[in-house]
Amino acid sequence: MLEPFAAMCPRCGRPYASPPNHLCGHCISHPPPFGRARACTTYSRSTPEAPLARALHALKYGRDISYAKPLAQIMVGRSPADRTYDTIVPVPLHVDRLRWRGFNQAALLARPLARHWRLRLEYRALRRTRTTPPQVGLGEAARRRNIADAFEIPPDWSGRGKRILLVDDVYTTGATLEECSRLLLDSGASQVRLGPRPGPMKRHESPIVRMPDRRRHWERRYADAARRPGAPSPFLQELLPSLPPGSALDIASGDGRHSLTLANAGYTVTAIDLSLAGLSSLIRTARERKLPINAVQADLESYPLPTNRFDVAVKVFYLQRDLFGPMKASLRQGGVAVVETFLIDQREIGHPRSPNFLLERGELGTIFADFEILRAEEGLFQSGREKAFLSRLAARKP
Ligand SMILES: [Zn+2]
């Protein structure tokens, strides 16, 4: 793996001013559980304006995911091919912090490394059991207390025999990474090493991508920077004046045609999608137009939606049947769900053809039977320039 500094501790990678290389005092007195740790660069409080530190700060605290890709590319660029690992594990975030930030920067950084080395990326090897107060300003002993019992290995995961590369965004005292390493080794891993990170400050997680092919399709589709979001659904536009004001959830937002429509109408919007490219485009547009949109990059097949949070929840042209329950739960009392997607008849005239992406007649009405149905229509509608068989529904949570 990379040897970024002219002189450093061969175990934990702490840089020295000059050779010779020797174990540092910490590694001699408290040998860490991991085999080796390396960082891409160093960063200190005296150089907060260093470009990498600023980029990382913008990613973590500014929640600007457009920085994720260039930072990850730096990590890949500084990491020679290394085939001595079987799997890559990003340090997880607690689900509360994941919801706040919308993504796990460690996972965003680990993904390109996994792709580069053709290694498995395992998001669920470690779980964060509680949020920990920020480590900034804490001494080493306090950091260890802070982090104790904050992680666990899920019962259905085993590290037996695996050589693991653990990735985090920041390495400070190493308390978090040592704790994670210990757990992974206890679960049977034969070796844990800490991957290159683009620089210090702290650490953290997210349930991103499990199905690379599905995701790649959308990344390609949204990758064209000149592409502008399409026109919003006429059904949603028609409904807008009658919807309760407040906060809105846009499920599978893509590049955000509905998020933008909702934000324009005064909503504070949370947009969730799998595609980083789609969300980057949405963030750009939202920033240009100064619209309050919080973009969350997550796999909806595993991401837990917040509950009792939104006044409006929108799911348009995205059918994942097990998401209707969480969608209903995400609404406050009196909140309205807006759903629109293809009806089974659509397969007679075009795509999609798979019943997985087509609603049966009357299906939405059954799903929302415990809601007050405000509008429900099924049939052939004009959709953009084409006609399509659609099922549409607006329903209020009692
Ligand atoms: Zn050391």
Which token pair is 215? 């995701």
Residue 35 confidence (pLDDT) above 70: yes
Ligand 1 centre from 30 Cα, in Å?
Answer: 9
pLDDT (average), residues 52-74: 79
Specify the higher pLDDT residue, 208 or 123.
123
Ligand 1 centre from 29 Cα, in Å?
Answer: 10
Q: Give the best-scoring range by mean pLDDT among 8-12, 109-113, 262-266, 284-288.
A: 262-266
Residue 64 confidence (pLDDT) above 70: yes
How high is the pLDDT of residue 96? 80
Ligand 1 centre from 52 Cα, in Å?
Answer: 23
Ligand 1 centre from 23 Cα, in Å?
Answer: 5
3-class SS of residue 375: strand
Largest CA distance in the chain: 76
pLDDT (average), residues 36-60: 71
Residue 234 confidence (pLDDT) above 50: yes
101 close to 123: Cβ distance less than 8 angstroms: no
Ligand 1 centre from 13 Cα, in Å?
Answer: 6
Specify the higher pLDDT residue, 189 or 368.
368
How high is the pLDDT of residue 225? 52
For residues 200, 65, 179, 149, the Cα torsion angle rounded to the nearest 10 degrees is: 130
How high is the pLDDT of residue 248? 96
Confidence bin at 202 (pLDDT 50/70/90):
very low
Ligand 1 centre from 195 Cα, in Å?
Answer: 15
Confidence bin at 211 (pLDDT 50/70/90):
very low
Ligand 1 centre from 44 Cα, in Å?
Answer: 18
189 close to 163: Cβ distance less than 8 angstroms: yes
pLDDT (average), residues 205-229: 49
In the chain, the domains with their CATH numbers are 25-208 (3.40.50), 219-396 (3.40.50.150)
How high is the pLDDT of residue 393? 96
Ligand 1 centre from 385 Cα, in Å?
Answer: 63
Q: What is the DSSP letter of 242?
A: G
Confidence bin at 27 (pLDDT 50/70/90):
confident
Ligand 1 centre from 27 Cα, in Å?
Answer: 4
Confidence bin at 398 (pLDDT 50/70/90):
very high
Tell me the CA end-to-end span of the chain in Å, nearest whole number: 57
Q: Give the best-scoring range by mean pLDDT among 39-53, 239-253, 302-316.
A: 239-253
In whole angstroms, what separates CA 18 from the centre of its chain? 40
Ligand 1 centre from 199 Cα, in Å?
Answer: 17
- Count, residues in the chain: 398
How high is the pLDDT of residue 336? 97
Confidence bin at 135 (pLDDT 50/70/90):
low
Q: Which residues surround ligand 1, an ion (CB under 5 A)?
A: 9, 11-12, 24, 27
Confidence bin at 212 (pLDDT 50/70/90):
very low
How high is the pLDDT of residue 148? 78
Residue 371 confidence (pLDDT) above 50: yes
pLDDT (average), residues 83-89: 78
Specify the higher pLDDT residue, 106 or 43.
106
Q: Bridge-partner residues for 293, per DSSP?
A: 269
- pLDDT > 70 fraction of the chain, expressed in percent and rounded: 82
Residues 124 and 42: their CA atoms lie apart, in Å, by 29
Ligand 1 centre from 171 Cα, in Å?
Answer: 12
- What's the mean pLDDT when you consider all of the chain? 80
pLDDT (average), residues 369-381: 94
Q: Give the best-scoring range by mean pLDDT among 12-26, 53-67, 164-178, 259-273.
A: 259-273
